[in-house]
Amino acid sequence: MTILNIKMFIASWLIFLVISTLASAFDVSSSSNFVAYWGQSSAGSQQSLAEYCSGSAIDAIVIAFLYQFPDTKLDLSGTCKSTFPGSTLLHCPDVAKDIKYCQSQGKAVLLSMGGAAGAYGFSSDSDASKYADTVWDMFLGGSAAQRPFDDAILDGIDLDIEGGSTTGYAAFVSQLRSHFSSSGSSKQYYIAGAPQCVYPDAMLGSTLDAAWFDMVFVQFYNNYCGLNNYPGSFNYDAWDQWAKTKSANKNVKIFIGAPGSQSAAGSGYVSASTLASIVSSVRDKYSSTLGGVMTWDASQAMGSSMWGQTVSSSIKSATPASSTPMRRRRTRY
């Protein structure tokens, strides 16, 4: 390689670093964030994590799911199939590269624990605190012999607790936050929760009251309080009141959880234009608590219907736009 080629290579690398640095970082205080779950391929197929992060539509992506704990097991719907030697724990170097790429594009990447199907739960607060140490070491800023995403450091944890016991989750969050504060790193970590819209949530209600959450992705679907029943029994007001009066973090952000297509949930789907109008109305009334929209899931929302892209663009510009939904096979984890 000539000296000129070496200089050109170095210049190109520096340009790449500058572009990566200039990518807009995730802003948790915004009211127009668009968050998508990824990993379960609920539409029947899904693109790579990096593909969904390559555009400007998605601000944060939640990898689903760590579906078994404290005996740690991941399921990414076949996206990652390799395991560590002598173990059933997934080892996902390609996903690790994609996580880093997403972060270089200013996206926050979280890992969701739980799901509608899985074997999980804690027997005590001590059990939960101990597992928080494990999660810190395996997925966040700690170190472990086996890290499913290698040296990629996730930006936080989401609790999508839909079964099992309610024991220990507040202690789990508290212990994770102790790691956040003592890590000595300037990196911003987040804790999110994904309750059903019925207030209070049967599984996460007490934890949401007791622990510090940054974001709450309320599932406004598959229930009477879903988006399809707006304005009637749609109950964002109850969650706004919780955020202002009961939440440990009075700056917590509430996200309107929406199915990404008609087949993404049993009920609750609304068109992109309808959702944009609902978000606009909620923003007018509850601007201090609104964080944006969460969708289940990327494979449904970001398909050929362009529903997700339209919703994201609309809530960011505050201008509702139309979208023609595409029917897909229903899969809900």
Active site residues per annotation: 162
In terms of Cβ atoms closer than 10 Å to its own Cβ (0-12, 13-18, 19+), residue 94 is middle
Grouping H, G, I as helix, E, B as strand and the rest as coil, residue 190 is: strand
In terms of Cβ atoms closer than 10 Å to its own Cβ (0-12, 13-18, 19+), residue 265 is buried
What is the C-alpha to C-alpha distance for residues 259 and 268, in angstroms, rounded to an integer?
7
User: What sign does the dihedral 271-218-54-75 (CA atoms) show?
Assistant: negative
Token code pair at residue 242: 């919780």
What is the C-alpha to C-alpha distance for residues 62 and 60, in angstroms, rounded to an integer?
7
Token code pair at residue 13: 């690398």
292 close to 27: Cβ distance less than 8 angstroms: no
**Helix, strand, coil distribution of the chain in percent, nearest 5:** 35, 20, 50
64 forms bridges with which residues in the sheet? 112
Q: Which of 285, 278, 282, 273 is nearest to 311 (CA)?
A: 273
Specify the pairing of strand 119-120 against strand 290-296.
unpaired
